[in-house]
Each structure stands twice: as structure tokens, then as C-alpha cells.
Structure 1
């Protein structure tokens, strides 16, 4: 059995669906199982990392764990208790949803680096077999534009020419699935990206094509950006994010072929992601 934390998040939901399709027993952990709406037959259970006594039964009979940062508490304060419960339940292999910010040459003072690097190290030190997934930008981050798109055909944001490497959550899940099924991925740190660079402006135009509208991106200075434009980003981190966007304007982002190498299928394009999520942008 595979235990999936963050089972109602973008990647967790995709992974649960793929495990279920392969008829692999899966236990989906979420804070509110009654609202999970996961595939029929999937076992769901409530995860509350602030209640250590409730953790042990969640891992009974499990051999693998898909672990995301949110499952360990805001500051990772519950990581040790969760990993201890996982080991007691029989888990031997942990696939960690980390971040591409972890790696050679990274800014080790960046809050996202600190959090993800600490989680990776905790899994290593706990003695599990491990696989680290280090995706770049999530294509799902583009949902930040949804409110503006529902309101009209003009989207305001910074750095129109900033190019990211957005990856479809289904591709991250597919690599996680193969990591559980194939022991050769144990001890691997996979850097994952979409198949091509996509700028902010191209993102908006692709979403427009998916929903049948002519959307336009209007660039604004970074000092005019308010937190509501990037609702998925903690406000304390937003200035650093904007600074990194500005630093990388005009630079080609990292593009890897890891998704295809691991899964045998090319990574999905952002156009595909936009079509898959068109209903999220319609009012």
C-alpha cells in the first residue's frame, strides 16, 4: 500500500488517481476526508500532524509514502513524528515532493530552499529509501490568474517576458508512480520540468485559446504587484519571488527530459494543461 499525503492537492490528487487506475492499494490522507471526492474505492483518512497519537494507524500495512511539505506542519515541526509513525507502520520508501530550488548553486538562505532541504535531510537521516522529486514551476500556479480572467480579457502582472518551465501535475505524479514501482529510482533526485519555456504572456494567451477568448497580458512594474496577484505565494516570500523573476528575465529556464526518461511519455505541454483546466478559468 502507498500512503499519499496532500491527497487533495494538485499532485496528490493526480497520484491517487494514477495509483487507483493501476489497482495499487492507496490510502489518501487529507485534513477533511468527507470533502475529498477521490476515486471510488480509494481509502481516505484524516491527517492532523498536531495529533501525534493519531498518526500510527495511518501507516499500518503501508510500504511507501508520498510526502509533501504541508503534511509536516508550517515549519516542519511535525516531520519527526510523522516519519517515526511511518516507519512503525512498515513504510520503507519515501518519495518526497521537493523543489528545484534545492540543488547545486542554490541560494541556501531562501525560505523555500530551507524548508525543502530540511525535509529531504530528515527523510535521509530517518533511514528510509528515498526518491526526491524536484519540480520547477507548477503549471497549476497559473491558477493565480483565474480571478482576473473571469473578470475580463485583460490580465495584469509583472515581467511579461519572464520564461518559466511549467510542469503538469499529472507528470509529477507519473514520475512518483514509477518511483514506487521501479527500485532503480531509490536514491535518485529527479529534476522535473515541462517540455518547453513559457513566458507569462504566452501563459495567458494559451489559457485564452483553451477557453475560446482573446486574452491580453498587460505588464505592470513589480512595485505595483499586490499579494492578490500571486495568491499561492506567502506574502513574506513575494518580494523574493519578484526579485528572482526580474533576475531571470531574458534567461532560458532549465528544461529537463526526466519525465520522458522515467515514464516513457513526453512531458505534457502547457497548452495541454490549459485545456485540462479550462473550466477553472470560466466564470
Structure 2
């Protein structure tokens, strides 16, 4: 079985690739710039730019399964090439945002929903992994935490159930290697709902230094994010922050059902990444 991994520079993909190799699978790591990839021995690097359909056919040749990053721009062309290549199964890294109210007008949810719908229309067996917020999103606070000991946020009381990226990779490993798990959708979360203030407190404990949260206006936060994300994505996040203010996020046991172990805590992620938040 040959598995094509798209988005191979991402944290989930870089964790998934060696896991698949350890299970004896042939892995093909795909990227728009494969020369920049660092991969385990025996992993082939190939060009596959999801914004460039001309790269699809060669990347998919001989592939049995695909771990797919959600990019709706040329999804129909990608799926046509996948069917022509004889791909049997696609695991999509989707998002729990598709489950939220107003998903059709939310930029993040709309992107993932468009890819899910295209996969539903295809003749390929598909599995949707729908994680919530990644624990690694907290790295966006690292520079401020290191330099000022503070984190700016527009809604410090907003809650999420951050999931460790390794748990997502291990869930992907399960559905890619166990045919009985193929098909359907899986809502993946961490083991607890935490506010931004609580997450920062966990980081403070892990780093052994005081960290505080500054409440800032939505506009100020959006302006600070301008160089990192499109305005529509920032607006979608602001809507999420507001709608989850003071309300516990959904927590599932899906990680344990797929992997056989409980989801890793945010505290464990914080300990692993504590140096990023220290001066």
C-alpha cells in the first residue's frame, strides 16, 4: 500500500509520515517544494501543489490511499486524477468548524465543507477527521510570552478543547491502516475544555514563569493578525471566540476510540514546548 501525504510540511503530516513507515507502508511525501522536506529514510518526496492541477497525476500514480489537506481550489481536478489513478481511500484533515452553527458563512468552515462535499460526491471511500483547535496554535502566543510575559486576546474567557497534533496523526494512522475504520466522520478533541486564561496558566506552570492575559479589542487583535491570516479567517475566529465565551467546548472520546489511549492533555503539550515560551 502506498500512501500520499499532502501538506507534508505541517505538524500532523510530519508526525504521521514516520508512523506510517514504522507500520511498513510505502509513503510518498508531497509538497509544492519537496526539496525543503525532511523525511525518514525510504520516504519518497514528490511535487504536489494543491494549487496546481498539473502536479496531481504524477504524484498520485500508483497511490492506494491519500492523507489530504483541505484545499478547495482544485479539489474536483484532484479527485478526478485520484479516481483515474485507482486511489481506494482518502482521509481528509477537516475541521470541527463544519459542525458549528453558521458554518456556511464561516470562512474556515466553508473551506473544509467544500472539500467534504466534493469527497462525498466522488466514488472514493473517504474518512473525515474533524479536529478542533490544535494545541500548537498556542505557539502564536510564544513571542509575546517570551518578550513581555503577556498574551493579548480579544476574548480571554473563550473556551476550546485543544488537541495535541500527535493525537491527530495517530488517529489518521488508525483510519489509514485499519480498513474497518474507513468511512464516516470523527470529531477529535483534547480531553478538557479550557479558556484562554486557563491555557496561559498551564503554560506559566510549564515554563516556571508568570504569564498573564491582556484583554484587547477585537479590532486591535485583528490588526495584529493581518500579516498572518486573511481578514475573513480572522473574522471567523472572532465569531468563534465570541460564541464560545464562557461556554465549555465539546469534548469527545474519539481519540481513545481510534487510538486505544486517552487524548493527550494540553499540559503535556505545554511541557513539551515550554522552551518556546521562555526568554
TM more than 0.5: yes
Q: 2:249 matched to 1:253?
A: yes
Aligned to 2:261, the other structure's residue is in SS state coil
Q: Could you say which residue in structure 2 is the equivalent of 1:280?
A: 276
Q: 2:244 matched to 1:243?
A: no
5+ residue gaps, structure 2, are none
> What do residues 133-172 of structure 1 show as CA deviations (whole Å, max 9, x unaligned)?
1111111111110221221212222222211110011111
Q: Could you say which residue in structure 1 is the equivalent of 2:23?
A: 22
Out of 67, 75, 94, the residue aligned to residue 79 of structure 1 is: 75
> What do residues 182-234 of structure 1 show as CA deviations (whole Å, max 9, x unaligned)?
22222210001000011111222222333332211222233432443586542
Q: Could you say which residue in structure 2 is the equivalent of 1:225?
A: 221
Confirm or deny: 8 A CA contact 2:95 2:132 kept in the other structure: yes
Confirm or deny: 8 A CA contact 1:157 1:229 kept in the other structure: no
Confirm or deny: 8 A CA contact 1:57 1:89 kept in the other structure: no
- In the TM superposition, structure 1's runs of 4+ consecutive aligned residues that sit over 6 Å from their partners are none
Q: Could you say which residue in structure 1 is the equivalent of 2:262?
A: 266
Q: Could you say which residue in structure 1 is the equivalent of 2:198?
A: 202
The Cα RMSD (Å) is 2.0
1:84-103 paired onto structure 2 within 5 Å: 84-103=80-99
C-alpha separation in 1, matches of 2:55 and 2:129: 27
C-alpha separation in 1, matches of 2:215 and 2:81: 48
- The CA deviation at 1:105 is 4.6
5+ residue gaps, structure 1, are none
Pick which of 211-220 and 21-30 moved more: 211-220
Q: 2:185 matched to 1:189?
A: yes
Confirm or deny: 8 A CA contact 1:3 1:59 kept in the other structure: yes
C-alpha separation in 2, matches of 1:135 and 1:106: 18
1:3-82 paired onto structure 2 within 5 Å: 3-69=4-70, 72=71, 76-82=72-78
Confirm or deny: 8 A CA contact 1:100 1:135 kept in the other structure: yes
- The CA deviation at 1:79 is 1.0
**Alignment length (residue pairs):** 278
Aligned to 1:108, the other structure's residue is in SS state helix
Q: Could you say which residue in structure 2 is the equivalent of 1:157?
A: 153
Q: 2:124 matched to 1:128?
A: yes
